[in-house]
Amino acid sequence: MELFNLKDNTDTASFAQAVKKGLGKNQGLYFPQQFSSFDNIDEILSMPFVERSVEILTRLIGDEMDKEDVKSIVEKAFIFGAPLVEVKDNVYSLELYHGPTLAFKDFGGRFMAQVLSVIAKGQPITILTATSGDTGAAVAHAFHGIDNINVVILYPKGKISVLQEKLFTTLGDNIHTVAIEDDFDACQQLVKSAFDDPEVREGLHLNSANSINISRLLAQVCYYFEAISQLEADKRDNVVVSVPSGNFGNLTAGMIAKVMGLPIKKFVAATNSNDTVPRYLKTGQWEPSTTVATLSNAMDVSQPNNWPRIEALIEQGFIDKKLLVGDAVDEEYTQVAMKQLAQLGYISEPHAAIAFKSLMRFMEEGDTGIFLGTAHPAKFRESVENVLGQPISLPQPLADCAGKEILSAELPSDYKALKAHLFATLKG
Ligand SMILES: *Cc1c(COP(=O)(O)O)cnc(C)c1O
């Protein structure tokens, strides 16, 4: 696989290089030079999930990685399914939250972890990242128990729910968590200082494993195929997919699936009130406003970092711009949608509800609609219980960690203290 930097097309990388580096020069995103599409889609769709995913990923990665390696990576990463559940006539939820941290980020996170462990060839790596909750959990579980890779996760002390905290701070082994006595921005600043410090960056072989890593996107392409494969053949012609979007990685992956030949008629980019993209699609003006806090807080993003990849897919003619519509759902309609789904007998959380609402606004007669369920309702238990007025139970992974001890260190928001802690923990 050959990739180039969207900010400087002379900066090219192989798949392995792009995975290790994350971002290219000037913080540019890596993007594939070309895509290859399947001419035997029906055959591909008839395969089981893991086997099909190996086909898709070897297509994307190319001969740079042995199929056997891809197979062993996929078998370790995709240990849970993505069921398509009918919520009403011709409307389906693609449930992406049956992994260990109950959100779709498990797919990308686990795949990236396994890829890194293969391409590092036994060299030690330290993953250093900051989290405001969800990504940290996905990263921690994805890398837990992988040889030669240590993970350090910083998070703002007291600013995330205890259950969220327990999901990634109770694992131990190669997963090191640090509660910082400050906010999320301060955590991000500390991570940045570490990457800017050659002694730490080189001494500990830092890698960011962040959400713009190309490997995550490739993994996510696979569940779009899995969605369509679960539809009866006569429903595959007019499929509209609604994607609840924050940084737009998920939508990018869906579009790549389409470029590879997956039959999707239209994409709906659904956002909350942080609606930079829906406004842009209407007016042509890119005008991010100040980010506002919403019930669907994993989408509280006003400068989506994967958007340049979507622009590239459109500008380079891989995707017709007309296939994409944008829609913003405010707080009131988010709650309305959750209640509508509950009336249909389907319990959802705010992100999926937004995707459902937008889907309803854009589906036409004869369409089959799919909205992505990006998180388990229990992950947003408080909002769900408040809006629906009914208790929801904890699924196994959350129940399991609820009784475990938090193993985090606590540090002030001070780079020297963090640096000393890193060397003591990882080199000691
Ligand atoms: C991260 C996240 C999103 C947004 O996905 P992007 O790829 O950033 O657009 C939506 N829902 C949930 C629950 C998430 O955690």
Q: Which atom of ligand 1 is nearest to the CA of 248?
A: 9
Mutate to test the pocket of ligand 1, among 250, 327, 348 (most ligand atoms within 8 A of CB): 250
Model confidence pLDDT, tens digit, residues 55-80? 999 999 999 999 999 999 999 999 99
Q: What is the mean pLDDT of residues 360-384?
A: 96
CA 134 to centroid of ligand 1, rounded, Å: 9
Question: What pTM was estimated for this model as a whole?
Answer: 0.94
Give the residue, out of 29, 96, 97, 104, with the most ligand 1 atoms within 8 A of its beta carbon, to mutate for a pocket test: 104
Chain segment 142-184, per-residue pLDDT in tens = 999 999 999 999 999 998 888 889 999 999 999 999 999 998 8
**Is residue 340's pLDDT more than 80?**
yes
Domains of the chain, each with CATH number or no CATH: 73-102+214-388 (3.40.50.1100)
Longest dimension (CA), the chain: 64
* 248 CA → ligand 1 middle, Å: 8
Residue 94 pLDDT exceeds 70: yes
Identity of the amino acid at 194: A
Task: Give the Å distance between the CA of 103 and the centre of ligand 1.
Answer: 9
Per-residue confidence band for 300, with pLDDT thresholds at 50, 70 and 90: very high
Tell me the CA–centroid distance for residue 372 and ligand 1, in Å: 10
H helical segments located in 170-248: 184-196, 198-203, 214-229
Substitution candidate for ligand 1 out of 299, 300, 306, 376 with most atoms within 8 A of CB: 299
Question: Which residues line the pocket of ligand 1, CB cutoff 6 A?
Answer: 103, 105, 134, 244-250, 298-299, 351, 374-375
Q: Which atom of ligand 1 is nearest to the CA of 249?
A: 7
CA of 106 to the centre of ligand 1 (A): 11
Query: What is the strand order of the sheet 149-156 is part of?
Result: 206-207, 125-130, 149-156, 175-180, 409-411
What average pLDDT does this structure show over 130-137?
A: 83
Of the candidates 49, 79, 55, the residue with the CA atom closest to the CA atom of residue 67 = 55
Other CB atoms within a 10 A radius of the CB of residue 8 amount to 12
Q: In this model, does residue 428 exceed pLDDT 70? A: no
- CA of 413 relative to ligand 1 center, distance in Å: 27
Q: What are the pLDDT digits (tens) for 204-217?
A: 999 888 778 999 99
Q: How far apart are CA 107 and CA 135, in angstroms?
A: 12
Tell me how far the alpha carbon of residue 227 lies from the centroid of ligand 1, in angstroms: 18
Average pLDDT value for residue range 262-288: 97
* pLDDT mean over 277-290: 96
Sign of the C-alpha dihedral, residues 216, 222, 228, 230?
Answer: negative
Q: Whose CA is nearest to atom 11 of ligand 1?
A: 374
- pLDDT reading at 90 higher than 90: yes
Ligand 1 nearest atom to the CA of residue 252, by list position = 7
Ligand 1 pocket test, candidate residues 164, 351, 358, 379, most atoms within 8 A of CB: 351
pLDDT value of position 210 = 76
Residue 136: its pLDDT value, please? 87
Q: In angstroms, rounded to a whole number, what is the distance separating the alpha carbons of residues 10 and 62? A: 21
pLDDT of residue 159: 85
| Ligand 1 center from residue 14 Cα (angstroms) | 27
Question: Under DSSP, is residue 348 helix (H, G, I), strand (E, B) or coil?
Answer: coil
**Which stretches of 120-213 are assigned E, i.e. beta strand?**
125-130, 149-156, 175-180, 206-207
Q: What is the pLDDT of residue 184?
A: 86
Q: Which atom of ligand 1 is nearest to the CA of 301?
A: 8
Average pLDDT over residues 21-45: 94
Q: How many CB atoms lie within 10 A of CB 51?
A: 12
Of 135-139, 240-244, 268-272, 414-418, least confident by mean pLDDT is 135-139
Asked whether 5 and 28 are in contact (CB, 8 A), the reply is yes
Position 274 pLDDT exceeds 90: yes
Residue 271 CA to ligand 1 centre (angstroms)? 10
Half-sphere exposure (Cβ direction) of 6: Cα atoms closer than 13 Å? 21
